[in-house]
Amino acid sequence: MIENSSVHRDSRPLLEVRDLGVVYKLGRRRPPLQAVDGVSLSVAPRETVGIVGESGSGKSTIGRAILGLAPIDRGTISLAGDDITHAGYGQRRKISADLQVIFQDPYSSLNPTRTIGQTLSESLIAQGHRSRSEIEARVATMLHRVGMSEDAASKYPNRFSGGQRQRIAIARALMTQPRLVICDEPTSALDLSVQAQILNLMRELQDEFQLSYLFIAHDLAVVRHLSHRIIVVYKGQVMEQGASNTVYSFPAHPYTRALLSAVPVPDPVEQGSWRELRLSDASEARAPSGENACPFASRCPHAVAICRTSRPALEETPEGSSVACHRWRDLRTPATTAVRNNGISQVPQSSPSNSIGA
Amino acid sequence: MSAITTATEAIESPNALRRLFRRPLALACIGYLLLVILVAILAPVIWPGVDHEQAGDLIRARQGSTPDHWFGTDALGRDVLQRLLVGTRVTMVGVVEGMVVVLALGVPLGVIAGYFGGLPDRILTWISDLTFSIPGLIVILVVLSIFKASLLAAMITFGLLVSPHLIRLVRSATLPVSRELYIEAARVSGLSRFYILRHHVLPRIAGPIIVQASFLAAAILLVQSGLAYLNLIIEAPAPSWGGMIAEGLENISSQPWLIWPPGIAIGLTMLAFLLLSDQIRDVGVETWQGPRRRIRRKDITQVQAAALRVEGGRSDSGDDGSPAEVALLSMEGVRVSVSSPGGELTIIEGVTLDVRVGETVGLVGESGSGKTMTAMAILGLLTGGAQITSGEIRFAGRNLVGLSEQQLRRIRGSEIGLISQEPMVGFNPVFRIGTQLEDTLRLHQGMTRRQARVAAIDLLRRVRLPDPAAVARRYPHELSGGMAQRVAIARALSGNPTLLIADEPTTALDVTVQAEILELLRELAHDERMAILLVSHDWGVIADVCDRAVVMYAGQVVERAGIIPIFREPMHPYTAALLSSNPHHAIPGDVLPTIPGTVPKPGAWPVGCHFQARCRLSTTECGEAKIPMLQPTDERETRCLHFRVLAQESELVEVTRS
């Protein structure tokens, strides 16, 4: 767990999302796609909240909805107390000072026909800054801060490698000194050693600029490294959420466990013992579940009748996380609440409080 | 990483104009068109009377070329050259009027349709379709019957009629650009729509617009000349190119020469427009094809790479063992080079590596290390002018280096199978999975259609697909990512290969699906004694399925070891640094260990150790001479002079752990 979690415990959330629903219309012949279905979450000042899930889970859509890039069907989103659910251009411009984004693909997120300086100064221009020298000074400072040389401002994006472009994208996001940055898979296109550099940079900048991150990624190790809290989503719904250590050490939802056990550990011995333990994750072949069902029921090895007829609500576990599963109490056996720690600790370790319902 | 920069630099320089000017043909076209415009401006000023000149020197009518009249005189004794030059203006004015209308309508409407989509898009598409079905010439004639001899009216009408062509083009060019992430980043920044269209969208689509505009200019010129020929838009004595052709035609029997000057002028000008549009398109193809990730990947394999090299002294610890230990694939000092302006450039410096029957060997490295290039070298699939310049690739007793393309092709699908990161790349989207597998089986194994049908289902069963017959009936787009990768593996198995080369086979998949695919690979290796060379950057994947690992850095193999020792006790500083930069091993919240600096590009490799500049253990010794592969123990090899220091460090860690 990251130490400063107590700092923001009682402060008001910076971002508050309630019962968010996003529906994409796919044309006349196909039914609309419910990409996000009743997600609630909050991010406190200086907090990092990680969203994990497989592709198609709706994790990126949540971020896009907050940024005003996805069609919101229901629910509310508020930033620092202001409702921004259906913000128009004027309001977007105002909140863009506080809300910024870092995208996954460093190749498509910078316009190849604009110099780095032009790209970086845009958000300041949108904020009404007019003084050219002021803008240039700020561009230089930010470039320097993310570890780039100042003469990068006059160059085009094609001069830079993936890692450097991602640094530039970070600089762009921080130009207006935002309070919340949505990070959509910011390191998944990068090499391992470059990824480590970017993750370190993001952590430094968080302390320095008092940032909150909503960190969306599919790599559980990366999310865990940076996040205070974690939200696990599947088919647009929250399956489990809680403090990052709790979710990783005592995963309560079968889906969380399936995800965690699927990540190959970079250690052959440990990975070997994990493989033996891996839950026999059922394939997609089973009958799909209906409207009022647990979204994971069709893939869940523990699904029973109630899972196919009623959608579970989030319930609090003794460890302090919340889980949306009808059977989480039954499933708390020692073998399945195994701790997977920092790569050093061994398999399987029972949870301290797993006597309940076992 | 920096090598990627060199690769994309060549493709994309925002300075398209400069490169256009480097093309002689483009220069000639631009020069000619500028001359025409200059003439259009100046000629009527120099010869102000020509426009109203009913008749010239009647005595000297119908003359051929003379020193006074270079192009001769017409039936009324007027100078043909003067008329041609003065007539340029009205011709060009027509083109400009038409173009103004086309651009003023086409660009904004096309951008609106492409960027905003929805209702405006549908209405504009509908209007465009409607316009295409209108007989243009008749409409122009109707307009001219109202606005008698009005060039302006005719050109505006024609501009209106052809602008849908431009609307469509601009729309389809805008569509992909408007989905780029930088547009979304700009929207998040609260920039106005106008700003985004003006600064982000327009520059990206300028290329295709100019190409199409140039093409339309030629079309407008043709129509203008046609209308002038019909005497519909220009009052009688005033010259125009089309009008001069009409006059020439009247006198074709007595003065056949007359139609040539205006004819050549029209032809040349159209040709200039069309060739220019071609040239711009060529430059544009180079310029605007942004470096998509797939392209980038290709460039990496083309321009840079690295591999493994062992300079002599390699004791083959495995080869003196039991027969099962004999390597199925054995690369020995394979060097891959590409010819560059500065001479031969080595991109893989001598790879040596073995894969034995039933064994899975991991080839690990970051982008630019040369791991993919190494895999492609085995298959003889090197692209971009790269070729093997020395070394041997022995596979099942034969040397693959120097085999003909035909021999290699036979080995490829049948004896060596390939699985790539994008499973469906090799499948045709219009045929069913079953049909395509059957075709491969018939090709490689000479089966009849009936046999192949059975065998295809068997293959799908072999890759553990739950309902093989149903999968065989599907089309490639109907498969999920995991199924697609299984089908791709099935096809790789269709020739009964003994070696499978898997190039980042799970990188594009979700972790849960990845786990299933890795399980399948493990089963193939274990149950069917398949030899697998797994190229990956993911230590987790390597740990999960490999028996041994080979680590590459900047064109060389830097370490080779069994899977447990390499994780427990890395003997090359690069391996150690790469392993520790994995957040998996870090304490959440702590600073991750990183490797300072960047991978050196091919051609910029230092003397001695390629990693020295970024290494914490490097000494002057490291830069003095080539570092050979050293053998700390029988089973291990490292290209590091200081491996003992590393070994001591990891022992210390072991002690503190226990």
DSSP state of A334: T
Q: Which residues contact A179 (CB under 8 A, 6 or more apart)?
A: A14, A45, A80, A98, A99, A210, A211, A212
Structure confidence at residue B379 (pLDDT): 87
CB contact under 8 A, A266 and B585: yes
Domain-located, residue B559: yes
Domain-located, residue B183: yes
Rounded Cα distance between B414 and A159, Å, is 42
Residues B259 and B336 in one domain: no
DSSP 3-state assignment of B638? strand
Domain-located, residue B421: no
Q: Which residue among B200, B567, B587 sits closest to A342, beta carbon to beta carbon?
A: B587
Residue B397 zone, left/alpha/beta (φ > 0; ψ -120 to 50; rest): left
Residues B201 and B339 in one domain: no
Give how far Cα B548 sits from Cα of A278, B359, B375, B502, B571, Å: 23, 8, 16, 15, 14
Assigned token pair, B154: 């005719």
3-state helix, strand, coil in chain A (%, to 5): 35, 20, 50
B567 contacts in A (CB within 8 Å)? 266-268
Assigned token pair, B314: 């390699």
Residues B380 and B233 in one domain: no
Chosen domain end from B536, B568, B600: B568
DSSP 3-state assignment of B276? helix
Assigned token pair, A220: 């559980």
Structure confidence at residue B362 (pLDDT): 95
Average predicted confidence (pLDDT) for chain B: 83
Structure confidence at residue B598 (pLDDT): 81
Q: What is the mean pLDDT of residues B29-53?
A: 90
Tell me the pLDDT band of A36, cut-offs 50, 70 and 90. very high
Give how far Cα B370 sits from Cα of B5, B392, B598, Å: 16, 17, 15
Residues B138 and B236 in one domain: yes
> Has residue A337 got a pLDDT over 90?
no
B591 contacts in A (CB within 8 Å)? 200, 203
Residues B205 and B259 in one domain: yes
> Has residue B286 got a pLDDT over 80?
no
Domain-located, residue B653: no
A43 neighbors A13 (Cβ within 8 angstroms): yes
Chosen domain end from B568, B596, B611: B568
CB contact under 8 A, A89 and B192: yes
Structure confidence at residue B513 (pLDDT): 85
Q: What is the mean pLDDT of residues A165-174?
A: 93
Q: Which residues contact A315 (CB under 8 A, 6 or more apart)?
A: A322, A323, A324, A328
Residues B85 and B174 in one domain: yes
How many Cβ contacts (< 8 angstroms) between chains A and B? 231
Residues B261 and B370 in one domain: no
CB contact under 8 A, B589 and A99: no
> Has residue B469 got a pLDDT over 80?
yes
Tell me the HSE value of B38 on the side-chain side, using a 13 A CA sphere: 6
Better-predicted residue by pLDDT, A42 or B303: A42
Cα nearest neighbour of B206 on chain A:
A113
pLDDT tens for B485-512 read: 899 999 888 888 999 999 988 887 888 8
Domain-located, residue B627: no
> Against a cut of 0.90, is the pTM above it?
no
Q: Which residue among B513, B516, B540 sits closest to A266, beta carbon to beta carbon?
A: B540
Rounded Cα distance between B292 and A108, Å, is 8
Distance to chain A for B593, nearest Cα, Å: 7
Domain-located, residue B466: no
Residues B250 and B364 in one domain: no
Distance to chain B for A89, nearest Cα, Å: 6
Containing domain of residue B81, as a range? 21-54+66-287
pLDDT tens for A291-320 read: 778 888 888 888 888 888 888 999 998 888
Rounded Cα distance between B351 and B558, Å, is 10
Structure confidence at residue A208 (pLDDT): 94
Rounded Cα distance between B563 and B561, Å, is 6
Any CB–CB contact under 8 A between B578 and chain A? Answer: yes
Say what percent of chain A tops pLDDT 70.
85
Of A163-167, A188-192, B263-267, B536-540, the least confident: A188-192
Domain-located, residue B43: yes
A48 contacts in B (CB within 8 Å)? none
Q: What is the mean pLDDT of residues A60-64?
A: 93
The alpha-helical segments, DSSP class H, found in chain A are: 59-66, 89-95, 116-126, 132-145, 162-174, 192-209, 220-226, 244-249, 254-262, 268-277, 305-309
Distance to chain B for A207, nearest Cα, Å: 12
Give how far Cα B30 sits from Cα of B11, B275, B315, Å: 24, 10, 67
Structure confidence at residue A292 (pLDDT): 79
Give how far Cα A292 sits from Cα of A32, A288, A306, A310, A313, Å: 17, 11, 10, 5, 12
Distance to chain B for A305, nearest Cα, Å: 24
A111 contacts in B (CB within 8 Å)? 180, 182, 200, 203-204
> Has residue B297 got a pLDDT over 70?
no
Say what percent of chain B tops pLDDT 90.
32
Residues B283 and B343 in one domain: no
Better-predicted residue by pLDDT, B423 or B498: B498
Structure confidence at residue B321 (pLDDT): 36
Q: What is the mean pLDDT of residues B576-592?
A: 83
Average predicted confidence (pLDDT) for chain A: 83
Alpha carbon B469 to its chain centroid, in Å, reads: 37
Cα nearest neighbour of A159 on chain B:
B5
Residues B509 and B404 in one domain: yes
> Has residue A206 got a pLDDT over 90?
yes
Structure confidence at residue B293 (pLDDT): 34
Residues B271 and B365 in one domain: no
CB contact under 8 A, B290 and A112: yes
Q: Which residue among B180, B467, B594 sits closest to A196, beta carbon to beta carbon?
A: B594
pLDDT tens for B96-128 read: 999 999 999 999 999 999 998 889 899 998 998
The alpha-helical segments, DSSP class H, found in A250-326 are: 254-262, 268-277, 305-309
Distance to chain B for A149, nearest Cα, Å: 14
Chosen domain end from B568, B583, B613: B568
Residues B103 and B209 in one domain: yes
B587 neighbors A225 (Cβ within 8 angstroms): no
Structure confidence at residue B345 (pLDDT): 87
User: Per the structure, how many domains does chain B have?
Assistant: 2
Name the residue with tokens 């150790």.
Answer: B609
Structure confidence at residue B654 (pLDDT): 60
Q: Which residue among A114, A266, A269 sits closest to B539, beta carbon to beta carbon?
A: A266
Query: Do strands A82-83 and A315-316 pair parallel, antiparallel, or not at all (unpaired)?
Result: unpaired
State the CATH number of the domain containing residue B504: 3.40.50.300
Assigned token pair, A192: 């391992």
State the CATH number of the domain containing residue B270: 1.10.3720.10
Q: What is the mean pLDDT of residues B354-373?
A: 90
CB contact under 8 A, A126 and B592: no
Any CB–CB contact under 8 A between B1 and chain A? Answer: yes
Query: Do strands A229-234 and B548-553 pair parallel, antiparallel, or not at all (unpaired)?
Result: unpaired
Assigned token pair, A352: 């301290």
Domain-located, residue B254: yes
